[in-house]
Structure 1
Amino acid sequence: MTEPTVGTRPPTVLTIAGTDSGGGAGVAADLRAMAACGVHGCVAVTAVTVQNTLGVSGFHPIPPETVAAQIETVATDIPLGAAKTGMLADTPIIEAIVDACDRVGIGGDGVPLVIDPVAASMHGDPLLADTALEAYRTLLFPRAVLATPNLDEVRLIAGVDVHDRAAQYEAAKVVHAFGPRYVLIKGGHLREDTDVCIDLLYDGHTFTELPGPRFDTGNTHGGGDNMASAIASGLARGMTVPEAVTFGKRYVVEAVRHSYPLGKGHGPISPLWAVRSWWEQDV
């Protein structure tokens, strides 16, 4: 007799992002973070990158119609609690994503959409065409419940060079003016903070600083992907945006604390702290 299964369907999040052949970022990182945060991850792949811990040596965009088809195929079958974006490569892909999301009710007043505006790898390798920056400003941000740029992305998208806390506040205002309901300006690259890492949340009226420890490690690959995925997971689990951001902050702090070396370059942050070590137990 076949043993019945006992699982119930968890909340579901769709990641719209590129691959990382080294496994540290992109959809690989997104799916690990989602599983660690208690949700089921679905995927719409936007590009295939050729990379390892030392850098990106190439990337190949997926045809826009294929990206759109992945989104629609998932969303018309599987109930989504949230969606997030990562590497989107170029304007035609962004336009296809926007059209597909509009058709299936992702973004705006529909399924919450978190925009992580990935423009370059942590090594500085470009992952977004310069001409696509305007598409982020005019097409994606107005549909987002939350945008999560780091300081390099703020400089490219908003034209604000953040070197201190005051500029971080100014950057939040500039990005918020593009249309997202909330903006999270991540402070990991703000070197004036030597002992803390302060992310700044802004809703158009109120600023909230989210401090966390700063760790002495170069193994932070995939940090932005993980944080956006954890926040989207929190939203899918019914949290408000401030609650989900706090949830994502706690997750990523521990993931950086437990990061590990991999290869000859920058290793990834780790979701394993959040996963019960069943393989160490008697089964």
Structure 2
Amino acid sequence: MTNDFPQALTIAGTDSGGGAGISADFKTMQMRGVFATMVVVAVTAQNTLGVQDALAMPPKLIDEQFFSLAADFNIRACKTGMLADSLRVKTVVNNLKQYNFGPLTVDPVMIAKGGAKLLSEDAISVVREQLLPLADLITPNLPEAEELAQMKITTEAEMEAAGHRLQSMGAKNVLVKGGHFSNDGEANDFVLLENGHSFWMTAKRKQTQNTHGTGDTISSCITAELAKGKSMEDALKIGKAYVEATIKQGINVGHGHGPLNHWAKIRSDNNEL
């Protein structure tokens, strides 16, 4: 039957180095058994050493990409990544209000691994005020959570407080990623669900600089699982396990912050790859 296969959408920027952005999203969704579609918001000149240049797409072309996808595909879940600036964020918000592409995961991409800023200052308030309230899930790392929640985060208690604040701002479910803490051997992420249930997801750290695209990868894995009909809690746990596997089963590519191994395989609770 036409359109009976799980389909998902990534709304983001490209990474010419192949490790993050739409490249990471497509590789992840493919590995998780979901057909991936895209709306390209920006194009970057990028490698493992950093971002050398970027060009945002005209809003009209962004609109047309949304229209084309809605006219043909049965998209069951979607995610946002790098959105460039306030004009593009507003353009994406307007389209997400117009089309139903299933549950929305917002990965509020602001800073690249190499330190380059990927979201302009004026766009952060637009994300906070217009995009965050549309999110079924938001997946900030600590610097992003600090920006959005407008608070300092130096402890796990403050991670929890930030999660509750982000939920009060409109996001139904919140994943605050603790990978930027460097004071222990674990990477602990805080999850706050729409029903009020909260829990921590923990993984042992591996000493490596090959972690480029982790945020894109976990958010696209969660999106893929939601497109397959998984519950939010199961999708989050699978996303965490998949990213852990992509780091542990690592590959060496490039001379800087290398990419993950998107070929990595995990086993979920029902032994499904």
Common fold: TM-score over 0.5: yes
**C-alpha distance after superposition, 1:222-275 (max 9, x if no partner):** 000000000001100101111110111111110111222211101111111239
Q: Does residue 192 of structure 2 align to residue 197 of structure 1?
A: no
Bigger mean CA deviation after superposition, 96-105 or 37-46: 96-105
For residues 169 and 87 of structure 1, the distance between their equivalents in structure 2, rounded to whole angstroms, comes to: 25
Q: Does residue 148 of structure 2 align to residue 157 of structure 1?
A: yes
**Of 56, 62, 68, which aligns to 1:61?**
56
Q: Name the amino acid aligned to 1:202.
A: L
CA contact (8 A) 1:13 1:39 kept: yes
**C-alpha distance after superposition, 1:31-72 (max 9, x if no partner):** 000001110000100101111111111111011121121122
Q: 1:18 maps to what in 2?
A: 13
Q: 1:270 maps to what in 2?
A: 261
CA contact (8 A) 1:146 1:183 kept: yes
1:8 deviates by: 8.8
Q: Name the amino acid aligned to 2:131.
A: L
**Of 25, 30, 33, which aligns to 1:35?**
30
Q: 2:197 maps to what in 1?
A: 206
SS at match of 1:156: helix
Q: 2:243 maps to what in 1?
A: 252
Q: Does residue 159 of structure 2 align to residue 168 of structure 1?
A: yes
SS at match of 2:72: coil
Q: Name the amino acid aligned to 1:199.
A: D
Q: Does residue 176 of structure 2 align to residue 179 of structure 1?
A: no
Say if 1:8 and 1:182 are closer, same or farther in 2 by CA, change over 3 A: closer
CA contact (8 A) 2:3 2:73 kept: no
Aligned length: 265
For residues 38 and 164 of structure 1, the distance between their equivalents in structure 2, rounded to whole angstroms, comes to: 37
CA contact (8 A) 2:186 2:203 kept: yes
**Of 80, 84, 88, which aligns to 1:85?**
80
Q: 2:115 maps to what in 1?
A: 124
Bigger mean CA deviation after superposition, 231-240 or 95-104: 95-104
Q: Name the amino acid aligned to 2:97.
A: D
SS at match of 2:219: helix
SS at match of 1:71: helix
For residues 22 and 4 of structure 2, the distance between their equivalents in structure 1, rounded to whole angstroms, comes to: 21
Q: 1:280 maps to what in 2?
A: none
SS at match of 1:99: helix
For residues 124 and 196 of structure 1, the distance between their equivalents in structure 2, rounded to whole angstroms, comes to: 23
Q: 1:137 maps to what in 2?
A: 128
Q: Name the amino acid aligned to 1:12.
A: Q
**C-alpha distance after superposition, 1:105-163 (max 9, x if no partner):** 24xxxx10000000010111000010011111111111111000001111222222222
CA contact (8 A) 2:242 2:264 kept: no
Structure of larger gyration radius: 1
Q: Name the amino acid aligned to 1:201.
A: V
CA contact (8 A) 1:76 1:104 kept: no
SS at match of 1:137: helix
RMSD: 1.7
Tell me the percent identity: 36
Q: Name the amino acid aligned to 1:164.
A: T
For residues 43 and 160 of structure 1, the distance between their equivalents in structure 2, rounded to whole angstroms, comes to: 33
SS at match of 1:273: coil
Q: 2:209 maps to what in 1?
A: 218
For residues 173 and 74 of structure 2, the distance between their equivalents in structure 1, rounded to whole angstroms, comes to: 24
Unaligned runs of 5+ in 2: 267-273
Unaligned runs of 5+ in 1: 1-6, 276-283
Q: Name the amino acid aligned to 2:176.
A: I
**C-alpha distance after superposition, 1:3-33 (max 9, x if no partner):** xxxx995300000000011111010000000
CA contact (8 A) 1:64 1:93 kept: yes
